[in-house]
Chain A
């Protein structure tokens, strides 16, 4: 006889359920622990350090510096400029390519997809290096252009904004193309036939029907590109030649050259907060999983 207040087996079942849920969830605990110890806690410490002045007491000087000094303001300006331009160029180049691939029969589309995936899998450093070699003064592009008579003198295409943008766009394109292509493949072809049947000119049908349906992929891809650009380091550091200074580069030089942890941390915190705000705004319109799955 069980007690009146206790339904049959309720306590035991509750315990079994709890154990099962905890043990399943526990499978994720090594991963979470690693991320906490290696990433979350140290970043939390950087946050703390960013509020420490030169004398070790609480101070906002690291943040005030960012507002006061023109050089810092310029760095943020450059970072946003590069990020916007790269994202814009990626959309302008990547969207038509994705559209082209989506119109191909499966076999050809898969071959075309390899041309997107190949650079995606290749080392970032190698690709940056390749552009450095191609674009330098005695590089392939200048040599060929001059021998073809396109221009007379070697043009400076690297160690400046142009070089940085070329490299960045090349590296970011797959992140934009893959989700856009995915959303295009998912569109039912009958929709375009229906639009045509209802009297829409193909161009009209594209903008009224096709394009809106690719918006989730496009916005996920563009967001991914923009966020990656904000924190980018390698490509601008190599191809920018010291003329394109982005936030992450300033962070590195603050540590490597000036050993100024406070300043570096404050920049890092601002960068992180900006990223989080953008992600947060985006997550209100997009599913986070789409963004995360964007590149893959």
Chain B
């Protein structure tokens, strides 16, 4: 194979000398993607043991899922909470990121660290803390409670993503808008926001997914009339391998993919290259 003898780098290391790297990388990439994707065909298996490839195809697990009022209720709760979290966390986080970016108060750094605490505190601790607080505030097992808790978990991501979008944005544009007669809020809305749009959309998507995928906090503060999908999935997993989970997983993968594609199309219409 001639290719193996050709240099792979400017320092004349050949492809042959690097073969081990290519093989390792290939295997790792397959292992990263495949296990998740293989759930999709498996969910159409008729067997209790989820074979691959399935010997007989069937949609019985989907039937099971869509036919179960319990799963349906959990799905509706999860979607509702995720959408609301996105709608709350995105503006709150974007405002915070902008405020911290634009102001030069001495304690901005401390405020930034506070913003990141939800990422640093172990989730379990957040969960039992929220559980306790919600008992006092009578927010336990409510959608409001879930949205607030998930908003707190999503805020660091929104602040980081928006903050880095602001960092690569030239703030003198906002000054230009103001010198041309725009009050600050208008300068932000008409000049800054359109340009950090991709960051904001990404942040919104991340907050949706943070909420939609969240297990540990939901385990404690969701339930009653408002259990989340992940909470029910987790409980089902602890008992036994219920093949219904495969069909739900497939649907969750679809939701995630849909959100990613949505973010890409929304964010990238601005530059026809």
Chain A positions within 8 Å of B, measured between CB atoms, are: 21, 24-28, 30-32, 34-43, 45-46, 93-94, 96-97, 99-101, 103, 112, 115-116, 118-119, 121-134, 136, 138-140, 143, 170, 173-174, 189, 192-193, 195-196, 202, 205, 227, 230-231, 233-234, 237-238, 248, 251-252, 255, 261, 264-265, 268, 271-272, 275-276, 279, 288, 292-293, 296
Report Cα–Cα, A204/B151, bound state, in Å: 48
> Known contacts being A119-B33, A196-B11, is A133 close to B22, with CB within 8 Å?
no
B88's nearest neighbour on chain A, judged by CB, is A34
Q: Is the CB of A45 within 8 A of B129?
A: yes
A94's nearest neighbour on chain B, judged by CB, is B28
Report Cα–Cα, A112/B118, bound state, in Å: 31
Q: Is the CB of A292 within 8 A of B39?
A: no
B17's nearest neighbour on chain A, judged by CB, is A202
Report Cα–Cα, A137/B44, bound state, in Å: 20
Q: Is the CB of B148 within 8 A of A248?
A: no
B237's nearest neighbour on chain A, judged by CB, is A238
Within 8 Å CB of B119, what residues of A?
292
Q: Is the CB of A275 within 8 A of B215?
A: no
Main secondary structure, interface of A, reads helix
Q: A43-B121, A123-B230, A248-B216 are in contact. List 20 more A-B contacts (CB 8 A).
A: A21-B104, A24-B103, A35-B115, A38-B129, A39-B126, A39-B129, A42-B129, A46-B125, A93-B28, A100-B25, A116-B29, A125-B237, A128-B237, A129-B237, A129-B245, A140-B38, A196-B12, A233-B215, A252-B124, A264-B128
Report Cα–Cα, A189/B9, bound state, in Å: 10
Q: Mark B234-260, 1 if CB is under 8 A from A, else 0.
A: 100110010001100100110010001
Within 8 Å CB of A196, what residues of B?
10-12
The segment out of B62-70, B158-166, B173-181 that lies at the interface is B158-166
Main secondary structure, interface of B, reads helix
Q: Is the CB of B122 within 8 A of A275?
A: yes
> Known contacts being A21-B105, A25-B105, A123-B256, is A34 close to B152, with CB within 8 Å?
yes
Q: Is the CB of A31 within 8 A of B103?
A: no
Report Cα–Cα, A231/B33, bound state, in Å: 25
Q: Is the CB of B99 within 8 A of A28?
A: yes
Q: Is the CB of B36 within 8 A of A296?
A: no
- Judged by a CB distance under 8 angstroms, whether B84 is at the interface is no
